Structure 1
Amino acid sequence: MNLSGTIDFRPKLISALSHYSLSRFKDDLIAGIVVGIVALPLAIAFGIASGVSPTIGLITAIIGGFLVSAFGGNSVQIGGPTGAFIVIVYSIIQNYGLQGLAIATLMAGLILILLGIFHLGTVIKFIPYPIVVGFTSGIALTIFSTQINDFLGLGLTDVPSDFLSKWGVYLSNIANIDLPTLGVGVVSLLIIILTPMISKKLPGSLIAIIIVTAAVYLLKATFPEIAVETIGDRFGNLPTDIPQPKGFELSMNTINILLPSAFTIAILCAIESLLSATVADGVTGSHTNSNTELIGQGIANVVVPFFGGIPVTGAIARTMTNITNGGRTPVAGIIHTVVLLLIFLFLMPLINMVPMACLAAVLIVVSYNMSGWRTVVGIFKSPKSDISVLLVTFLLTVIFDLTIAIEIGLLLAIILFLRRVMENTQIKVYSEQLDVAEGTDATTHEVLDVSRGVEVYEIDGPFFFGVATKFDEMMRSTLGTKPIVRIIRMRKVPFIDATAVHNLEILIKSSQSDNIHIVLSGVNQQVRQVLLKAGIDTMIGEDHICDNISRAVVMANRIADKHRARHHDA
């Protein structure tokens, strides 16, 4: 991580076009067309599930997908709306309306751009895996729950947003299942599941939509009394014009209210896009520029709100479809957006005929694939701390809110991480003899004689606030026999924080009041600079901050010997 230096923004499209060829274009063209076809039902389904129209889902995939490919740091990344955002987008719309969603998405885009500018692309990858699995599984269960009404044809118009109340309403209305609608949903589900068994390259969701839509159209023509709700029935005739960009009002009050939601969107986008890019790199052997990718994702999320779009991120399934069909440059991603644009302009009347139950089946399969239940089972074999982070994040996502889940999940992970560091950071006490090479790979050992009255405390690990308290408690527990000199060996201390410096100052003052000398040993350059800025050198004397333990022991022995000699003469 480097917070300084030049902005790391080098879109892959520029380098790809510098040595582009006709054969490469042919491969990208085929991949782009296939990905565009695969992305169509997903964009429509994600748009509807998020609480907006199918048009908005397509607009997001077209504009956002284009910008991700044009400005991103991965050669094969396909951007667009994804299932991960359904829960948070739906919640924002319910509470703050479409304008609130637009402002939150815009702020999320700016956060992503700043993360990329400040070279934080690699840091996002260090978010604990149990957190990612926890909220992804929670989102999957929530998406599944939102589709029950359309899948069963319950006809509910005012379904509660919270998980428990929603299922309470479903169970109380279970007798209202519409059998034709359920039949459409089940057939769609079977087609999606069985299609990959025929061919891995066939998009099961699109095949299901084509077959089931045609079947429902014929069914309605033959038996007009059978009613299966379609997209057109719910949303009316969908527009085929690209919406004009429009602005929205910003105020500090609105920003403060929506900032937590914007932060959640930004973190989700960063995690999902970089995870997708990492998977793609493993398949293609390429290397993603994480900072450029975040900036590209940020640009997409800054622009799409002005066209009414929802959040954009890298989509793993569509990215893998791109790779398996030969796409190797961002041109394939751009072609996929052109395919979606042509469908939007010329085929929207056909989309009006798609049954809602069929889209529900598509999203049920998406939620199953997102759940990662095998990964969840695997984590249950991990340490209890990882299991607790997973369960807390999962339950908070399902029962409460995704924003709360991510914030508390991150906080819990940090606390558990600090606890592990504290447990692994050792503080050893030596007297009489000290092996200089102990704890190293050195084959020759130098044993130093430590004079009576000299104690050596070695800190093995980071010296931060948690360890500082642990060290302070150890020092207090040894106050029964007061030494003449305390050597604090810091050769294995990579850094020191303000709390540790403060505790060290208190230790020095209390030791000096008891006529105990403090000598520091093995202080590296970074730690030394922190100590000098804090004035530790003036408190104990600069010569008492030693580069190595041999020099520190010689100094301490001399001080102890002089002290005993002075008291012996007295």
Structure 2
Amino acid sequence: MNTNTIKQQWFGNIKGDILSGIVVALALIPEAIAFSIIAGVDPMVGLYASFAIAVTIAFFGGRPGMISAATGAMALVMVTLVKDHGLQYLFAATILTGILQILFGVFKLARFTKFIPRSVMIGFVNALAILIFMAQLEQFVDATWVMYAMVAGALAIIYLFPRVTKTVPSPLVAIIVITIIALMTNSDVRTVGDMGKLSSELPAFFFPNVPINFETLKIIFTYSIALAMVGLLESLLTASIVDDMTDTESNKNQESRGQGIANIVAGFFGGMAGCAMIGQSVINVKSGGRGRLSAFVAGTFLMFLIIVLGDLVVRIPMAALVGVMIMVSIGTFDWSSIKGLAKNPVTDSIVMVTSTVTTVFTHDLSKGVFAGIILSAIFFVAKISKVKVNSTYDIAAERRTYFITGQVFFASVTDLIASIDFKETAKEVVIDLTHAHVWDDSAVAAIDKIVLKLRENGTVVRLHGLNEPSSHLIDKLAVHKQEGAKLSGH
């Protein structure tokens, strides 16, 4: 990376990055606390993680403007580990997660994200939007009309203030105004302090207090591999979404390595594993954040808020932050996808809805994405498994020619075999594969079966028009060749 690029990524949008970073820091606090509660750990574990990851990823990540911190998807994976083995094993698993993610980056596994269909990504985004909105609903349980009024006021400021000026991010204005109103009126509404107790201590470097042996590795490895995969999946998909929002590109392999380094740092400073956050990334981008400085400011200002302004932070009404997060869910949801349900191919719409529904019901982003990928693969195989077989008969030569068109592989061989008349009385049969491709051993086995069964009737069988890869595969695997079948026309 050259000097100009580094300068641009850090100082090309100073005002926007600083202001957006402040907004993100305020929104990070209740989420980090909530995710800590999900994982069954002290709120400061999530806050320390968010600080360490956000600051570290600012330097080492491959997607400027994207926010990474403690997340709900990762917290869900940790629950059993913390319950069965305790907090120190979580720190060890977090460090191992980082090491695995660095290896994923080194071996450039990020390139496999190209196999995730657009319909799955849209389903992923819509599910996140729904989950973000659903997570806010618990704040309304047993709430008074004041809570509803403040949320409505926050949303009004968020959407109307930009008409006055876009110099200051409207979510930041909403948080400040609603907080001032709550303090002046002594409103009885839930505050950040009600989410969990905050400590005014900086995180300290330490080694996890676990035995360094194979037994420890056995305990943490399965959790670490799950955390590494879920974290990278969410991070790389979020990076792609931010790419689209900002019309810029990012280095996905560098992002993998950066996420790994960030998690190692988090583990050594008493934090839980984390990854990119689509909600906070959307807040950042919509508030004007574009560069690495925004993530750095978000992390450092988060610690500043907790250490220096902790007494004030705990008095911020949750209504203000709920308003911001509802704005995020509305902005995150791909509303055009609803109209697209009627226009897109039915299979694409089914994949999108399946990804969304699976994620929402399981609260697990990875399960939703994997369900979508598997369903897409099934539909794709179904689409390309249709082979067309036509035949002609030359009376003078007593020769039947079968013209095969399509992809010959495990899913299409049944139809191919069913299209051949094995009671053929012709002296010679030509299987013309000029417009076909032989992909796997199932295809070769099917061709073997066709040739050998026809030969039982005393028929001479020739394969014609094989392309080079198909010919090579048949030469290597076919049984009928070894029994003297005649091949030609490669």
Compute the TM-score of the two structures, normalised by the length of structure 1: 0.72
The question of whether the paired residues in 2 share the 8 Å contact of 1:66 and 1:337 is answered with yes
Instruction: Identify the match of residue 464 of structure 2 among 506, 521, 527.
Output: 521
How many angstroms apart in 2 are the aligned matches of 1:480 and 1:543? 20
Structure 2 counterpart of 1:50: 35
How many angstroms apart in 2 are the aligned matches of 1:242 and 1:468? 61
How many angstroms apart in 2 are the aligned matches of 1:364 and 1:394? 18
Structure 1 counterpart of 2:110, one-letter code: G
Equivalent position SS for 1:539: coil
How many angstroms apart in 2 are the aligned matches of 1:35 and 1:494? 54
1:467-506 alignment, distance < 5 Å: 467-475=412-420, 478-494=421-437, 496-506=439-449
Structure 1 counterpart of 2:311: 349
Question: For the structure 1 residues 245 and 147, does the alpha-carbon distance in structure 2 shift closer, same or farther, using more than 3 Å as the test?
Answer: farther
Equivalent position SS for 2:188: coil
> Aligned pair 1:30/2:35, yes or no?
no
Question: For the structure 1 residues 248 and 141, does the alpha-carbon distance in structure 2 shift closer, same or farther, using more than 3 Å as the test?
Answer: farther
Instruction: Identify the match of residue 317 of structure 1 among 282, 285, 306.
Output: 282
Higher Cα radius of gyration: 1
How many angstroms apart in 1 are the aligned matches of 2:99 and 2:244? 23
1:538-549 alignment, distance < 5 Å: 538-539=481-482, 544-547=487-490
Structure 1 counterpart of 2:154: 188
Structure 2 counterpart of 1:387: 349
> Aligned pair 1:17/2:6, yes or no?
no
Cα deviation 1:350-401 (Å, max 9, x = unaligned): 2222112322222222222222233233234222222222232322222334
Give the stretch that moved more between structures: 388-397 or 252-261. Answer: 252-261
Structure 1 counterpart of 2:213: none
Structure 1 counterpart of 2:330: 368
Structure 2 counterpart of 1:296, one-letter code: G
How many angstroms apart in 2 are the aligned matches of 1:49 and 1:149? 11
Instruction: Identify the match of residue 66 of structure 1 among 55, 63, 68.
Output: 55
Question: For the structure 1 residues 373 and 467, does the alpha-carbon distance in structure 2 shift closer, same or farther, using more than 3 Å as the test?
Answer: same
Cα deviation 1:499-545 (Å, max 9, x = unaligned): 21222222233233233333233333333332232145743658614
How many angstroms apart in 2 are the aligned matches of 1:89 and 1:205? 26
Structure 2 gaps, min length 5: 211-215
How many angstroms apart in 2 are the aligned matches of 1:110 and 1:515? 63
> Aligned pair 1:142/2:142, yes or no?
no
Instruction: Identify the match of residue 244 of structure 1 among 188, 205, 220.
Output: 205
Structure 2 counterpart of 1:440: none
Instruction: Identify the match of residue 266 of structure 2 among 301, 304, 307.
Output: 304
Structure 2 counterpart of 1:197: 163
How many angstroms apart in 2 are the aligned matches of 1:25 and 1:180? 41
How many angstroms apart in 1 are the aligned matches of 2:392 and 2:456? 22
Question: For the structure 1 residues 263 and 528, does the alpha-carbon distance in structure 2 shift closer, same or farther, using more than 3 Å as the test?
Answer: same
How many angstroms apart in 1 are the aligned matches of 2:131 and 2:485? 61
Structure 1 gaps, min length 5: 1-14, 155-175, 221-225, 434-448, 548-570
The question of whether the paired residues in 1 share the 8 Å contact of 2:428 and 2:460 is answered with yes
How many angstroms apart in 2 are the aligned matches of 1:90 and 1:253? 17
Structure 1 counterpart of 2:276, one-letter code: T
Equivalent position SS for 1:229: coil
How many angstroms apart in 2 are the aligned matches of 1:382 and 1:205? 35
Question: For the structure 1 residues 514 and 297, does the alpha-carbon distance in structure 2 shift closer, same or farther, using more than 3 Å as the test?
Answer: farther
Cα deviation 1:415-456 (Å, max 9, x = unaligned): 111111124xx32323258xxxxxxxxxxxxxxx99432313
How many angstroms apart in 2 are the aligned matches of 1:429 and 1:310? 58
Quote the sequence identity (%).
21
How many angstroms apart in 1 are the aligned matches of 2:104 and 2:244? 18
Cα deviation 1:453-476 (Å, max 9, x = unaligned): 23133233x32211122212212x
Aligned length: 473
Structure 2 counterpart of 1:219: 185
Equivalent position SS for 1:520: strand
Question: For the structure 1 residues 392 and 27, does the alpha-carbon distance in structure 2 shift closer, same or farther, using more than 3 Å as the test?
Answer: closer
How many angstroms apart in 2 are the aligned matches of 1:491 and 1:106? 54
Instruction: Identify the match of residue 266 of structure 1 among 232, 254, 261.
Output: 232
Equivalent position SS for 2:385: helix
How many angstroms apart in 2 are the aligned matches of 1:450 and 1:272? 66
Kindly indicate whether structure 1 or structure 2 has the higher relative contact order, using CA contacts under 8 Å at least 6 residues apart.
Answer: 2
How many angstroms apart in 2 are the aligned matches of 1:193 and 1:56? 34
Structure 2 counterpart of 1:467, one-letter code: S
How many angstroms apart in 2 are the aligned matches of 1:236 and 1:73? 34
Equivalent position SS for 1:244: coil
How many angstroms apart in 2 are the aligned matches of 1:412 and 1:390? 10
Question: For the structure 1 residues 340 and 399, does the alpha-carbon distance in structure 2 shift closer, same or farther, using more than 3 Å as the test?
Answer: closer
How many angstroms apart in 2 are the aligned matches of 1:103 and 1:259? 13
How many angstroms apart in 2 are the aligned matches of 1:145 and 1:418? 36
Question: For the structure 1 residues 401 and 35, does the alpha-carbon distance in structure 2 shift closer, same or farther, using more than 3 Å as the test?
Answer: closer
Question: For the structure 1 residues 266 and 189, does the alpha-carbon distance in structure 2 shift closer, same or farther, using more than 3 Å as the test?
Answer: same
Compute the TM-score of the two structures, normalised by the length of structure 2: 0.82
The question of whether the paired residues in 2 share the 8 Å contact of 1:111 and 1:266 is answered with no
> Aligned pair 1:123/2:112, yes or no?
yes
> Aligned pair 1:208/2:194, yes or no?
no
Question: For the structure 1 residues 407 and 253, does the alpha-carbon distance in structure 2 shift closer, same or farther, using more than 3 Å as the test?
Answer: farther
Instruction: Identify the match of residue 66 of structure 2 among 71, 75, 78.
Output: 78
1:97-176 alignment, distance < 5 Å: 97=82, 99=87, 109=98, 112-150=101-139, 152=140, 154=141, 176=142
The Cα RMSD (Å) is: 3.6
How many angstroms apart in 2 are the aligned matches of 1:480 and 1:34? 79
Equivalent position SS for 1:122: helix
Cα deviation 1:305-328 (Å, max 9, x = unaligned): 443134222654256358x56x56
Structure 2 counterpart of 1:173: none
The question of whether the paired residues in 1 share the 8 Å contact of 2:46 and 2:271 is answered with no
